[in-house]
Each structure stands twice: as structure tokens, then as C-alpha cells.
Amino acid sequence: MIELDRAGRSFKVRREVVHAVRDLSFGIAAGEFVGYLGPNGAGKSTTIKMLCGILTPTSGTVRVAGLDPSRRRTALARRVGVVFGQRTTLWWDLPLRDSFELIRLLYKVDRKIYQERLAELTETLDLGAFARTPVRQLSLGQRMRGDLAAALLHAPDVLVLDEPTIGLDVVSKAGIRDFLRRLNAEQGTTVLLTTHDLGDIERLCRRVMLIDHGRLAFDGTLEELMATAPGEETIEDVVTRLYTGGAPPERAPQR
């Protein structure tokens, strides 16, 4: 469903070249739920932007649902849903349901299919109480649920998530995680999840990929990830080791 072959993306910043992503190769099969981790500046957002066609790779190839994202952006948009947790794709001044209606028109979703899908998403994401509220008046948790619904109204095969639980309280996080788990298990939607919240990874992802300095530093199961740092008990400590190139995590002094 997602295929990168030696994909790279560099930027010219004044006279310097920044290699945001280098030589990145991986495949994600239909129905997988994959966590995409990496320290700040590692290249995660650049990868996601290449997958969505926002950025064109400067080397190698990227294919999503068999399409070249940068050349087939419109066709791709029908197959992929994207949620950027730090930004909304909803119309700020419109009631949530009007944003959905606009998305239906943009994606040319058949009205009957749209109504069924909207009813299902309204129930599973519990949107009913604020469907008529302008987006600017929604809480962060409500807005995130609205953004998830918006990304899924056209029933995409692939869902790409960039920090979908950022800033949410524990209950809201649990609700979103439960929704994503069911979406993947029951509808077979392929999910690529970028997050700094390792609780998301632990609870949702069978497979984890870790990118560092633009290169793939780990690709395996959660168990294999834990086995990279014998003696470490928590995923935070294991990931800290990987981010710091093998150095053990700093610990608070024992009292």
C-alpha cells in the first residue's frame, strides 16, 4: 500500500543543503498499523509530506496505493486520509457538519454513502453533541474527533496521522486510540501513525519504524524494539537509547 525506494528529500537553505530524508526504503502492506517514531527534526513530517504529495522527493521513488503522490495528488486524495494534529483541515467559522458537507462535495462522495458513513462516524466518534458548533468553539479533543471524521468521510484505504493525540487528556486519548484500533481491525484501514506519545505506539502498533537524521534506524515489531536494549524495561528508556545512539537514559537520582 505504501512503498518507498531509496526516497530522499533535501532542501537548500542559503548555501547549505539539508538532507531531511535520505535513502529511505520501506513497504507497508494493506491493513498494517505502523508507528513512525523519531526525535525532533528526524524527517517524519518530510516523509509524510512526500506520502501525501505535498513534497516531491529529490531522489528515489514513493508510491501510495500504486500512485506517485506528487504527480497524482487528486487521485491519491481519494485513497488517503490525513490528520495533522497541530493543524485543522476544518473550516474555522463553520459548524462541524457544514465542513463535512463541503468535504463531501470536494471529494464527490455519493450522498447516500456519505450519509451512512457520517452516521457511523458520528456514533463511533461521539460527534452528535457538537455537530452544529462552529469549529473555532470546539475543545481540542472535540476538534480532533472532527478532524478524524473529516479524514475518513470518503472511506480512504490509508490513514496517515501526524500526532493525533497531542495535547489531549487521558480520557480523550483513550477514546481516539480505541477508535483507531477498531478502524484498523474492523475496516482494514492501513494506518501510519507519527507520534511522540509512546503510549500511542505501545497500545496501537504491531510494527514500529524509527527514523533518525533522515535515515531508517529501526524497523520491526514492538517486541523487537524492546529487545534492542536489554535491561531497559520501559519503551521510553528503549527509545531514549536509540535516539541517543546507545547511551543509557539519564535517570533521576535514587533517594
Ligand X SMILES: Nc1ncnc2c1ncn2[C@@H]1O[C@H](COP(=O)(O)OP(=O)(O)OP(=O)(O)O)[C@@H](O)[C@H]1O
Question: Where do contacts with ligand X occur on this chain (CB under 6 A)?
Answer: 11, 13, 18, 20, 38, 40-46
**Nearer residue to ligand X within complex by CB, 41 or 128:** 41
Strands (E), the chain: 2-13, 16-28, 33-37, 59-64, 80-84, 158-162, 190-194, 207-212, 215-221
Q: Which of 29, 27, 8, 32 is nearest to 19 (CA)?
A: 8
CA distance 107 to 80: 11
CA distance 12 to 163: 27
Find the shortest distance in angstroms from Cβ 116 to ligand X.
35
Report the C-alpha dihedral over residues 21, 26, 29, 33, rounded to 10 degrees: -60
**Nearer residue to ligand X within complex by CB, 13 or 171:** 13
**Nearer residue to ligand X within complex by CB, 166 or 222:** 166
Find the shortest distance in angstroms from Cβ 21 to ligand X.
7
**Nearer residue to ligand X within complex by CB, 44 or 79:** 44
β-strand 190-194 against 158-162: which pairing, if any? Answer: parallel
**Nearer residue to ligand X within complex by CB, 35 or 43:** 43
Find the shortest distance in angstroms from Cβ 18 to ligand X.
5
Find the shortest distance in angstroms from Cβ 220 to ligand X.
19
Got the DSSP string for 65-79? Answer: TTB-TTT-HHHHHTT
CA distance 82 to 148: 8
**Nearer residue to ligand X within complex by CB, 43 or 53:** 43
Find the shortest distance in angstroms from Cβ 36 to ligand X.
9
138's CB contacts (< 8 A; 6+ apart) are 96, 130, 146
Find the shortest distance in angstroms from Cβ 38 to ligand X.
5
